[in-house]
Amino acid sequence: MLYLLVLLLGLAIDQLTKWLIMSNLPLNGGFDVIFGLLRIHYVQNTGAAWSMFSENTLALAVFSLFVLVLLGVWFYKTPQAEIGQRLSLVVIMSGALGNMIDRFRLGYVVDFIQLPHWPVFNVADMLLCCGVAGLAFLLLKDEFKPKSEEAGHE
């Protein structure tokens, strides 16, 4: 139940913020939230990160669906005791689902958060990045633990 709640909450926040932007700003319109640091700027992204593959919106949407299925399988194969890993996967799925919905419904992804020297992004992108970072940390944390002295003398 927790996982479904996290998935739906992330998706709801993503879709609500995009709806608010589309309802209240003209395309390419925006305003400064923190001058020089954070700007709300409505753009339509037909590509993926950094507008890559911008001529292949449908292919990106279908690819997103494929990735969501793979993530769902990974989630269900992950032991229930691995709560952090399962939460990270759900956060990734929430972000992927948010952008996939945009691609299928609108033909583009609504991006609106702008930081200096960074592409414009959205809540779904933040969910994807946070989920991937959490998953990477959890999967790699044991790789960086110091080896015990006994293990070195075998």
What whole-number distance in Å separates Cα of residue 94 and Cα of residue 154? 46
Active site residue 102: no
Active site residue 125: yes
Q: Tokens 């319109």 appear where? A: 29
Helix 83-106 vs helix 2-24: crossing angle, to nearest 10: 30
Q: Which of 14, 102, 125, 142 is catalytic?
A: 125
Q: Which of 14, 32, 102, 111 is catalytic?
A: 111
Tokens of 11: 């998706």
Comparing CA positions, the residue from 100, 44, 45 lying closest to residue 67 is: 100
Give the active site residues. 111, 125
